[in-house]
Amino acid sequence: MKLYELVGKDKTQGFSPYVWRARMALAHKGLKVEMVPLTFSEIPELTGANAKTVPILEYDGGFITDSWDIAIFLEENFSDKPSLFGGNAGKAYANFFNFVSFYNLIVPLFQTLVYDIFNELNESDRDYFRASREARLGKSLEEAHENQLQNLDIFRKQLWPYNMTLKSQEFLSGDEPAYVDYIMYGLFQWAKGVSAIEIVNEDDQLYRWRAKMDDLYDGLGQVIKTRA
């Protein structure tokens, strides 16, 4: 099994939040996978996958694209392994969490990190990234960067429900970590992979939660190094 991931200049620091969902999900299922680093411009060249984004899971000669489809595939094809969702209600939770975390967290965090992501990329990816992201932002990367702290503040203001939930349960998924936690953890790995900025406060429940997530699966997430 191969998991194609997105990297910049450093091929060991795959920073895609969506790839981290798949990577943690594979570890949750106890499955070994070969990681294949790609730059943005290399993704569409991958024969057979017909995908513009990662993660892409290659399995038995076929390709599964989109992190949600990968999660469903793993849950259905490895049903003898620990469940990613914890049943139908948990699957409904993950589906909802996917949307709510995108809208309330990923969007402001993207604005916070976009310039740092740009600086992390291979030279060959930069023109594409600048053009596509500036169109999406409606402003230059440099202008977005000038508002980095304001955007971080917008992101942080949205953390209240997540911190409150973690006051009464150990993980977002309940007593044990599962797919909803991997959705959230992907955001933290994304930020850590491209930026020195600390996105949560030390007294946040999420800070404590992240430390526990970092320790899962022999410290898998710690492959991403903290920047000075």
Is 89 a binder of a copy of itself (CB under 8 A)?
yes
Using CB under 8 A, which of the segments 45-53, 102-110, 193-201, 202-210 binds a copy of itself? 102-110
C-alpha span between 52 and 6 (Å, rounded): 11
Is 177 a binder of a copy of itself (CB under 8 A)?
no
Tokens 């965090």 locate to: 109
Residues within window 104-133 making contact with a copy of itself, judged by CB under 8 A: 104
Distance of CA 146 to the CA centre of its chain: 24
What is the smallest separation between the CB atom of 224 and a copy of itself, expressed in angstroms?
26
Is 93 a binder of a copy of itself (CB under 8 A)?
yes
Q: Which distant-in-sequence residues (6+ apart) come within 8 Å of 110 by Cβ?
A: none
| Among positions 7, 71, 172, 224, the unique one binding a copy of itself when judged by CB under 8 A | 172
Token digits of residue 13? 């620091």
Smaller CB separation from a copy of itself, 103 or 128? 103
Using CB under 8 A, which of the segments 1-9, 35-43, 167-175, 195-203 binds a copy of itself? 167-175
Is 87 a binder of a copy of itself (CB under 8 A)?
yes
What is the smallest separation between the CB atom of 116 and a copy of itself, expressed in angstroms?
26
End-to-end CA distance of the chain: 34
What is the smallest separation between the CB atom of 136 and a copy of itself, expressed in angstroms?
17
> Which residues does residue 36 pair with via DSSP β-bridges, in sequence order?
4
Smaller CB separation from a copy of itself, 1 or 164? 164
Q: Phi/psi zone of residue 47: left (φ > 0), alpha (ψ -120 to 50 degrees), beta?
A: beta
Is 175 a binder of a copy of itself (CB under 8 A)?
yes
Using CB under 8 A, which of the segments 29-37, 58-66, 74-82, 84-92 binds a copy of itself? 84-92
Is 147 a binder of a copy of itself (CB under 8 A)?
no
Amino acid at 66: D
C-alpha span between 126 and 42 (Å, rounded): 13
Is 100 a binder of a copy of itself (CB under 8 A)?
yes
Q: Do 182 and 25 contact (CB within 8 A), yes or no?
A: yes
Q: Which distant-in-sequence residues (6+ apart) come within 8 Å of 182 by Cβ?
A: 20, 21, 24, 25, 28
C-alpha span between 25 and 124 (Å, rounded): 30
Helix (H, G, I), strand (E, B) or coil at 36: strand
Is 53 a binder of a copy of itself (CB under 8 A)?
no
Is 154 a binder of a copy of itself (CB under 8 A)?
no
Judged by the rule CB under 8 A, the positions of this chain that interact with a copy of itself are 85-93, 95-97, 99-100, 102-104, 160-162, 164-165, 168-169, 171-175, 178, 180
